[in-house]
Amino acid sequence: MSLAQHVTANEGIDRVPPEGEEDGYEEILWRTLSYDVFPPGDSAGPIVSPEIILPTLAAYKVSSTRRAVQVGFAIVACWFAAGIVYGFSSLKPILIEEGVYADLCPLNDDPDDTRDGREKVPCAAQDMRLNLFFVAASITINTSSLIAGWALDRYGRRLCYTISGLFMIAGSVLMGLAFQIPAFDGYVLANVVLSLGGAFVFVPSFQLANAFPRHSGIVVALVTGAFDGSAAVFLLYRLAWEASGRSFAPARFFFAYTAVGALLLVGEYTLMPACAYHSTPELERKIERAQDATRDVHDSDEDLDSPRMIRRIRSRRAERRLSKLEQIEELVGDEAQREDRVQAEEERQAASGIWGVLHGVPAHRQMLTTWFLLLLLLTALQMLRMNYFIATIRAQYRYLLGSERLAENVNHFFDAALPIGGVFATPFIGLLLNNLSVATASAILTLFIALVGALNCVPQAWAGYATVAAFVLLRPLYYSAVSDFATKIFGFASFGRIYGALTCLSGLVNFAQSGLDALTHGPLRGDPTPVNAVMAVLGTGLAAALTAYVVVKGREFRLRMRKREDAERVQERLGLIREEREREAVEARYGSFRVDRQDHL
């Protein structure tokens, strides 16, 4: 799964400390999330906002109905394109039934072996090659999110949606041809292309949150839920395939699926905005200009002869200015509502316990910290573990339960639970991360990681269902937490580089999944327990280490911040005392001057 697929907010506040931590006053800036891994500017200097300026559109000039339809279109597009490759466990039985890579099996292997189940059981070589089909797509969607983020920030959402539509068409055609032409082995390539289509439609969709600034969190949650729901596409196809008596051939399905890419292109150029809507900082600047009454006065007014005409023209300008102000405030909220929103954001960040600990530090130095190293190691391991589970769940429980029928049941439960669990958990994850400290959230992750790891080693059917239930909650929680931790620890300004590095490096670690497959099918003779146990112990240890580090460093950071606040209060009192003394000195000199003057008179 791509890290970029779960973000908790598209805008937020950064703490910009003074150059010296012990003196000066910090600044709080409202920033828009950037996915650009290579932003312009000096990477060795202080973090600054990207300098590339793209055209933007005023949302208040577009009807709320049209904006709602645009958001709805983005959600539907993500549901049918963003993360369909993660429905691999639903598609895998169809691939096996269609004989994909069955030629890799030994000649003495029974191609119709179903054991005590209803579906064919693949040989080891076929199973590993099919898992590679998923691994390649998983690595691609993680690494390509860097390119998608770069393209979004540099060239805008329209180019990304266009690329996504073309990739979806190309991937569907390649997959259909691979099923239709036996000599054409295009399965892996087709899945990689489909994953590219998913990355280029999903990351840019978060920009649509600016269509409704006051409800941006809801839009982000809906888009995120659509990504989780997209894993159900192959599940629905598998159900249709079974209902048709397996006559609904994969080639027909994928050729028909080209309609998704085509509709994405049509919708982009007929319905969607040509450029991004104004962000909150841009709207704030427009509000400041609309509140400036001096803009009603122009130098050209001096050329007018009649004072009455001047008043009338200035009155019209004021009406237009105030009308624009009213439109903007209807979109983003009045001054009190905006202040409440900023206050709520500051309280949310303060509750984290570590907000701003590395804000303002250059990204290359952030990547050298223990914060980044622990997050990277844990994320790489969890991504490998989760994708390994998705790809091998049937094989794992076939061995653990000693029954193909029971393994099928667990697998089918997982196929439905994966998208449903992600969609169901999204709003609760937001509430959890917004109200708990990072240390507490990290401790909850540690418990989940330990629970999934322990249950996954128990050779009982109930444990299999419990593992699935815990897994489908842990997966969206973990990826959302990493995004949330990144903004709170490193800041919105360097998010693209930090998140890009986490995403790319963690994705590349997934190459090890093929090695784990070979280990399981080879020396371990199909037993997944040693691999699961080792990853469970390592994952729990790293998660516990991260939690302990957050607790210790968070306490040190809060102590340092309290000292700074105390020093600022002392400086403020000294400043007031100094002003009072200066005022007394001025009054004393003035009084002395009056006395001297009276004596002179």
Instruction: Tell me: pLDDT of 584 over 50.
Output: yes
Chain CA centroid to CA 242, Å: 35
Give the residue with greater pLDDT, 470 vs 57: 470
Cβ atoms 224, 78 nearer than 8 A: no
Given this model, what pLDDT does residue 597 score? Answer: 54
Instruction: Tell me: pLDDT of 52 over 90.
Output: no
Instruction: Tell me: pLDDT of 432 over 90.
Output: no
- Cα–Cα distance between 458 and 467 in angstroms, integer? 9
- Cα–Cα distance between 14 and 355 in angstroms, integer? 9
Please measure the distance between the N-terminal and C-terminal CA atoms of the chain and give it in whole angstroms.
91
Q: What single-letter DSSP state applies at residue 295?
A: G
Given this model, what pLDDT does residue 471 score? Answer: 95
Length of the chain: 601
313-344 burial, b for 16+ CB within 10 Å, e for fewer?
A: beeebeeebeebbebbbebbbeeeebeebeee
- Cα–Cα distance between 110 and 273 in angstroms, integer? 56
What are the phi and psi torsion angles at 175 (to 5°)?
-65, -45
- Cα–Cα distance between 272 and 73 in angstroms, integer? 8
Three-state DSSP class for residue 30: strand
What are the phi and psi torsion angles at 278 (to 5°)?
-55, 140
Tell me the pairing of strands 27-32 and 11-16: antiparallel
Three-state DSSP class for residue 209: helix
If you average pLDDT over residues 152-168, what whole number do you get?
Answer: 93
Given this model, what pLDDT does residue 48 score? Answer: 41
Given this model, what pLDDT does residue 34 score? Answer: 64
Give the residue with greater pLDDT, 28 vs 326: 326
Mean pLDDT of the chain: 84
Q: Which two tokens stand for residue 281?
A: 């900082």
- Cα–Cα distance between 456 and 393 in angstroms, integer? 10
If you average pLDDT over residues 26-33, what whole number do you get?
Answer: 62
- Highest mean pLDDT of the ranges 293-297, 318-322, 433-437, 468-472: 468-472
Residue owning tokens 């990072």: 438
Three-state DSSP class for residue 123: coil
Given this model, what pLDDT does residue 3 score? Answer: 42
Given this model, what pLDDT does residue 453 score? Answer: 95
Given this model, what pLDDT does residue 267 score? Answer: 95
Give residue-wise pLDDT tens across range 340-378: 777 777 777 777 788 878 887 888 888 999 999 999 999
Q: What single-letter DSSP state applies at residue 45?
A: S
Give the residue with greater pLDDT, 566 vs 445: 445
- Cα–Cα distance between 586 and 159 in angstroms, integer? 66
- Cα–Cα distance between 85 and 211 in angstroms, integer? 29
Smallest CA-to-CA distance from 440 within 568, 588, 550 is with 550
Instruction: Tell me: pLDDT of 271 over 90.
Output: yes
Give residue-wise pLDDT tens across range 169-179: 999 999 999 99
Give residue-wise pLDDT tens across range 456-480: 999 999 999 999 999 999 999 998 8
Long-range contacts of 287-290 (CB under 8 A, 24+ apart): 287/325, 287/328, 287/329, 287/332, 290/321, 290/322, 290/324, 290/325, 290/328
Cβ atoms 520, 319 nearer than 8 A: no
What are the phi and psi torsion angles at 399 (to 5°)?
-80, -50
- Cα–Cα distance between 1 and 390 in angstroms, integer? 10
- Cα–Cα distance between 553 and 464 in angstroms, integer? 38
What percent of the chain clears pLDDT 70, i.e. is strictly above it? 84
Long-range contacts of 567-571 (CB under 8 A, 24+ apart): 567/22, 567/23, 568/25
Given this model, what pLDDT does residue 2 score? Answer: 46
- Cα–Cα distance between 580 and 574 in angstroms, integer? 10
Q: What single-letter DSSP state applies at residue 31?
A: E
- Cα–Cα distance between 577 and 368 in angstroms, integer? 44
If you average pLDDT over residues 14-27, what whole number do you get?
Answer: 57
- Cα–Cα distance between 359 and 561 in angstroms, integer? 13
Distances (CA, A) of 103 to 111, 113, 124, 521: 10, 15, 12, 18
- Cα–Cα distance between 510 and 137 in angstroms, integer? 10
- DSSP-assigned beta bridge partners for residue 32: 11
Determine how many CB atoms are found less than 10 A away from the CB of residue 469. 16
Given this model, what pLDDT does residue 577 score? Answer: 73
Give the residue with greater pLDDT, 84 vs 31: 84
Task: Name residues whose C-beta falls within 8 Å of residue 382's C-beta, 6 or more positions apart in sequence.
Answer: 449, 478, 539
106-136 burial, b for 16+ CB within 10 Å, e for fewer?
A: eeeeeeeeebebebbbbbbbbbbbbbbbbbb
Which band of pLDDT confidence, cut at 50, 70 and 90, is reported for residue 581?
A: confident
Cβ atoms 268, 159 nearer than 8 A: no
- DSSP-assigned beta bridge partners for residue 14: 29
Give residue-wise pLDDT tens across range 389-431: 999 999 999 999 999 899 999 999 999 999 998 888 888 888 8
What one-letter code names the amino acid at 140? T
What percent of the chain clears pLDDT 90, i.e. is strictly above it? 42
Chain CA centroid to CA 144, Å: 14
Range with the poorest average pLDDT among 9-23, 50-64, 289-303, 520-534: 9-23
Give the residue with greater pLDDT, 593 vs 124: 124
Instruction: Tell me: pLDDT of 280 over 90.
Output: no
Instruction: Tell me: pLDDT of 43 over 50.
Output: no
- Highest mean pLDDT of the ranges 112-126, 186-200, 205-219, 292-306: 186-200
- Of all helices (H) and strands (E), which one includes residue 531? helix 529-600
Q: Which two tokens stand for residue 595?
A: 């006395």
